[in-house]
Structure 1
Amino acid sequence: MFDYFYKRPYQLYSLILAFFIIGIAALVLLPKNLFPDANRPQVVVITQVPGATAEVAANTVSKPIEEEIARIAMVRDVSSVNVANFSIVKAEFEYKKGLEAAAVDVANALSIAKGRLPRNVTPAVYTAGDFTLPVDVITLTPAKDANISVADIRKIADSFIKPYLLGNPAIGNVEVFGGYQSAINIEVDPFKAKKYGVDFDKLAKAIFSIDKDTPVGFTKGKDSFYTITYYGERDQIERLKQLPILPNLRLGDIATISWSYQKRTSGYIGNGKEGIALSIQRAPGGSVLAVSKAARAEMKKLAKLYPNIDFSISDTQRDLIETANTNMLEALRDAIIYTLLVIMIFLGNFRAIIAAGLSIPMVFFATMAIIWLTGGELNIVIYTAIILALGMLTDDAVVVLENIERHLNEEHEELQTAIKKGTKEVISPVFAGTLATIAVLFPLMFVGDFPQHIFRPLIETLIIALLVSYFLSITFIPKLSAWLYKNGTGKTRIEQWFEKLYENTIGRLVTPYIGILKFSNGRWWALRRMFLTALVVLTLILSLKNVMPLIGKDVMPPMDTGIIKAQIAFSANENV
């Protein structure tokens, strides 16, 4: 590889430039999230059970659904939450199952369980994971002096705004919440019903004759009027009015039928105002920042289409992710500066700083390019891997450069000869070191379960960076050396000062180190080395025993996001 690219410098420069340009594009275009999607496949089944208590919902809906889902292969956990009028069943699967396969199997299980469910309920299947967290929450409130209610906004949001947003390919899903769900309210006059001998069994049979799958709820008001909530469409009002209950008796004769909203079990206040909320979600593997940009661009268009509605952002992941990405780039910048400073202190060599200063950004952008070309994303884990790799990246370049300089100073060879011999001498050791590091890291990609999905992108990025670093150290650094040493190997006064500083401080540790090496190679060297190894292992064990209880253990480190969340639980039977 060295000979091939050393004889073809323009091919080498073209390759480096191509990866550099692709890397810059990748830094801008790569999907940016906080962490990689690492949750197991989750499927949620939500069933509306009008008029049912939590206990009824659990026994008649959740239990049959749970029993069927529990039979699915690779299901890990099945649980349910039951409140008045709703059953929510959550199923978690093993990673091998896959999200799409899990959703299909749950849908098939529901078709089997359908016969055991009440006739007027229709379960809805949703996939869940990191991607279901709201990217942005957009609050819709009546504009100042606008003649529009929150209930009207809900109808507009469900019928027009949500489909409009879903038409954008960048947006994965949109959920509307805040109450005021549209429904047909049938207010039955109890006196008229009694006069004609109509009981609620007859009413229910008549209404179900329209569509037995449409949910129906019953509530009783303070004035003894019964309200039947029919979760149908607005165009069914006239049909309901003409619905025959008895011969010569229509539903409209004993009830007032209107297009209104169902009993409120939820509400939303955003930016201090009651309104309707739109939860903007990304697709699995999508970018939070890309989805947020798309949603906000559409929000500006919607604000012009609906001047009576105020659109505002009340919650977002975007600020946190932008801050995290900015902080990691700043940490990367600081790491580069400190790495170059350490090289200067230890080596006192401006040439090594130039070599490292050029190789680090090249490795960074080449790594970005490869991540982009292989369909990856940017997140804190990826940035962390690149920062961790910085120290190892400079090793390869400095080793090659220092060996070339040794050939020039000690062997007194001509420049081109020194470059060729000096590089070829260290190709095998540098490759062995790179391979050894990869061999240590590689098993972490297969530890299984949640840690594997967190460690894999980190290890993959480290391996890419190490291989790119090795390639540059044996191709680009030798060509760079021809320019760095064209005027000889002499050092400036600043370099000499740093060299003396090192010799008078950290360099003093070289003598005891040499003493340890002599001790380990003396008589009975095998026992001596075993003794030194046991001493190091004992020190590590003692340090772990004392340090581990202090630092604690957790899956992920705590993070101060500057966000405060409070949860207040009310009775499931309370109205909003």
Structure 2
Amino acid sequence: MSLAKFSVTKRVTISMLVLIIILFGFISFQKLGLDLMPDLEFPVLTISTTYEGAAAEDVEQLVTRPIEQAVSTIKGIDKITSTSSEGLSVVTVTFEWGTNLDFAGQDIRENISRLRHFLPDEIEDPMVIKMDLSQMPILLFGVSGMQNTSELRNYLDQTVGPRIERLNGVASVIVAGGLEREINVYLNKTRMDQYRIGPDAVMASLAASNVNVSSGYVKANHQEYMVRTMGEFKDINTIANTVITSVGGTPIRINDVARVVDTFKENRSYMRINGRDGVVLFITKQSGANTLETVRSIKALLKELGPTLPKDLKFMTVLDQGDMVEKATGNAANSAIVGAVLAILILWLFLRNWRPTLVIALAIPISIITTFIGMHILGYTFNIITIGGFALAVGMLVDNAVVVIENIYRHLELGLHRNDASVKGSDEVGMAITASTLTTIAVFVPLALAGGYAGKIAQPLALTICAGLTASLFVAITIIPMLASVIFKKRTFKKGEESVEAHGGKLYHSFLKLYEGSLRWALNKWYLVSFVTIVLFFLSIFGLKVIGGEFMPEGDDGMGQIRLTLPVGTNIEE
């Protein structure tokens, strides 16, 4: 028994199947995330090392080059680039596509740990960072207000930040810029020489005193109590009274040889929001979280907190991925909807009958809903790439259905019962539309299997289209025959009409005459048509070179930047 005959004779079964597909399709739709771009993992690891106060040349010689040599022996590396600036070393390691970055990152950490004893003691431990688009900020606020940026930074860190981090989908909240508290110890060389104390002794005493130490436990009244020795500094007086050593039984404290000042870190950057000093709030989302929903929940929380925030505290949106996602995906979705509506209208103009048009109108959403299931299985999200695949595939989704419906209609006109016409019409073209669909899918398979960054971008587009085409084939050979056997009825024609072509009216006949005339002319002038075709082919190749190309089109995010390069050594206050 063919699929078409099964669908016609088992209408209840097929109807239940359609309901199940719709149910699972809606469940898959709700679980699909919404992002601007697909979740891509670039084969890039960055090693960032901070060396406070060191010149760029020292950073390069003492930190960057040893790290480059240490990681260069790891397998799968494509290239290594580095940047050395004042107080900072950044080594970027690019691996071949397909490299397991978790294993590669572990190898880098092991190599650096073996190198650590040869690096300056003053550097912070190198950080290995994976380049992940999903960890890019989804919201970036410029925040101003309060008396100074130190109070502003502390308020955001202690009050606003923790509330935002508790929201579903939020990974981290980072406050950048502003004044950071710093305790400076200014050594008095004369007094240190007097007591014969070096800077290393001062540093060692501070490091040894600024710790909390576990001291075991004590038993009392059949209970055990954990004991800890609290030594962490609470204020600058504790630091000033820290004992360095003793001379003749007299303790020498920090305040005997130095001056302790509670101040702020030296500013190496300034942030201003609408002319006022401020800080920047970076908010990132968890991997797999819905960007739009996460952004909306953050904005809703800030609106809720509004009455409790200081009156002069102002949030200015600098970057909003939620808005970008909504606009980009909305435009692509609208294009897909308009394409589907236009396809249905064009079919109605040619068929001039509401019954086959209704079947097509039902086939398109069923095919799209079925595609949602495939996207969920593949782990894709809604983004401009996958929705673009939908927009591109909408026209192709109706191709199979149109072929089957036209053949069913033809058999109805030949006098067959609608059940028989549905079965025979579908069976006759079943192999043809299957071969046609598989041929189209084969065109997109190379895109899905392509390597490199371009392949990773094109893969969701190609597989979304393939899933849509597979769904449309399934709908055409199972659901369309069932719908046709229920909705279609034998046509009756007026006198002089013998087929649906005759019912097409003046518009159809005018188009048919124009096509026949053009075809006859082309067949008679085949040499001229061949020559023009060859000329157009070579002109298109020349035009391709003239047009040029780029990897990704430039987008308009509504932001502008002004970069100024000042002479070397220019003071930051200037």
- TM-score range (shorter-chain normalised) is 0.7 to 0.9
Q: Superposition pairs for residues 310-459 of structure 1, below 5 Å?
A: 310=313, 312-315=315-318, 316-409=320-413, 411-459=414-462
Residue 548 (structure 1) aligned to one of 533, 544, 548 = 544
Deviation at 1:324, TM superposition (A): 0.9
In 2, distance between residues paired with 1:500 and 1:535?
34
In 2, distance between residues paired with 1:97 and 1:298?
40
Q: Which residue of 1 aligns with 2:264?
A: 261
Q: Which residue of 2 aligns with 1:108?
A: 110
CA contact (8 A) 1:184 1:259 kept: yes
Could you tell which deviates more after superposition, 91-100 or 323-332? 91-100
Could you say what secondary structure the match of 1:40 adopts? strand
Q: Which residue of 2 aligns with 1:523?
A: none
Identity of aligned residues (%): 26
CA contact (8 A) 2:47 2:128 kept: yes
Q: Which residue of 2 aligns with 1:81?
A: 83
Letter in 1 for 2:472: S
Q: Superposition pairs for residues 412-561 of structure 1, below 5 Å?
A: 412-486=415-489, 488=491, 490=493, 499-505=505-511, 507-513=513-519, 538-539=534-535, 541-561=537-557
Could you tell which deviates more after superposition, 536-545 or 315-324? 536-545
In 2, distance between residues paired with 1:374 and 1:239?
59
CA contact (8 A) 2:333 2:391 kept: no
Could you tell which deviates more after superposition, 363-372 or 232-241? 232-241
Could you say what secondary structure the match of 1:412 adopts? coil
Q: Which residue of 2 aligns with 1:62?
A: 64
In structure 2, relative to structure 1, the CA distance for the partners of 1:322 and 1:469 (3 Å cut) is same
In structure 2, relative to structure 1, the CA distance for the partners of 1:284 and 1:113 (3 Å cut) is farther
In structure 2, relative to structure 1, the CA distance for the partners of 1:159 and 1:56 (3 Å cut) is farther
In structure 2, relative to structure 1, the CA distance for the partners of 1:537 and 1:106 (3 Å cut) is farther
Could you say what secondary structure the match of 2:47 adopts? strand
CA contact (8 A) 2:184 2:263 kept: yes
In 1, distance between residues paired with 2:482 and 2:476?
10
Residues 402-461 of structure 1: CA deviation (Å, up to 9, x unaligned): 11111121x222222111111111111111111111122212211211121011111111
Could you tell which deviates more after superposition, 162-171 or 244-253? 162-171
Q: Which residue of 2 aligns with 1:240?
A: 239
Could you tell which deviates more after superposition, 420-429 or 539-548? 539-548
Residues 390-411 of structure 1: CA deviation (Å, up to 9, x unaligned): 22111111111111111121x2
Q: Which residue of 1 aligns with 2:214?
A: none
In 2, distance between residues paired with 1:61 and 1:477?
68
Q: Which residue of 2 aligns with 1:177?
A: 176
Residues 194-223 of structure 1: CA deviation (Å, up to 9, x unaligned): 6656554554454455689xxxxxxxxxxx
Q: Which residue of 2 aligns with 1:277?
A: 280
In structure 2, relative to structure 1, the CA distance for the partners of 1:566 and 1:41 (3 Å cut) is farther
Could you say what secondary structure the match of 1:558 adopts? coil
Letter in 2 for 1:563: M
Deviation at 1:259, TM superposition (A): 4.2
Q: Which residue of 1 aligns with 2:226?
A: none
Q: Which residue of 1 aligns with 2:73?
A: 71
In structure 2, relative to structure 1, the CA distance for the partners of 1:291 and 1:102 (3 Å cut) is farther
Residues 266-310 of structure 1: CA deviation (Å, up to 9, x unaligned): 232335432222211123444322332343344456656654773
In structure 2, relative to structure 1, the CA distance for the partners of 1:406 and 1:384 (3 Å cut) is same
In 2, distance between residues paired with 1:279 and 1:233?
30
Deviation at 1:116, TM superposition (A): 1.9
Q: Which residue of 2 aligns with 1:227?
A: none
Q: Which residue of 1 aligns with 2:150?
A: 151
Letter in 1 for 2:278: G
In 2, distance between residues paired with 1:127 and 1:499?
64
In 2, distance between residues paired with 1:506 and 1:71?
70
Please, what TM-score do these two structures have when normalized by structure 1?
0.83
In structure 2, relative to structure 1, the CA distance for the partners of 1:387 and 1:475 (3 Å cut) is same
CA contact (8 A) 1:39 1:450 kept: no
Deviation at 1:466, TM superposition (A): 0.6
CA contact (8 A) 1:60 1:118 kept: yes
In 2, distance between residues paired with 1:322 and 1:259?
47
In 2, distance between residues paired with 1:431 and 1:125?
50
Q: Which residue of 1 aligns with 2:220?
A: none
Could you tell which deviates more after superposition, 297-306 or 13-22? 297-306
CA contact (8 A) 1:345 1:499 kept: no
Report whether the alignment pairs 1:124 with 2:127. yes
In structure 2, relative to structure 1, the CA distance for the partners of 1:7 and 1:107 (3 Å cut) is farther
| RMSD value, Cα | 3.5
In 2, distance between residues paired with 1:39 and 1:568?
33
Q: Which residue of 2 aligns with 1:4?
A: 6
In 2, distance between residues paired with 1:45 and 1:495?
70
In 2, distance between residues paired with 1:101 and 1:278?
32
Letter in 1 for 2:169: A
In 1, distance between residues paired with 2:569 and 2:74?
31
CA contact (8 A) 1:179 1:265 kept: no
CA contact (8 A) 1:234 1:259 kept: no
CA contact (8 A) 2:209 2:232 kept: no
Letter in 2 for 1:5: S
Please, what TM-score do these two structures have when normalized by structure 2?
0.83
Q: Which residue of 2 aligns with 1:566?
A: 562
CA contact (8 A) 2:149 2:178 kept: no
Give the paired residue count: 542
Could you say what secondary structure the match of 1:60 adopts? helix
Deviation at 1:50, TM superposition (A): 1.5
In 2, distance between residues paired with 1:325 and 1:472?
26
Deviation at 1:572, TM superposition (A): 7.8
CA contact (8 A) 2:14 2:482 kept: no
Letter in 2 for 1:183: E
Could you say what secondary structure the match of 2:186 adopts? strand
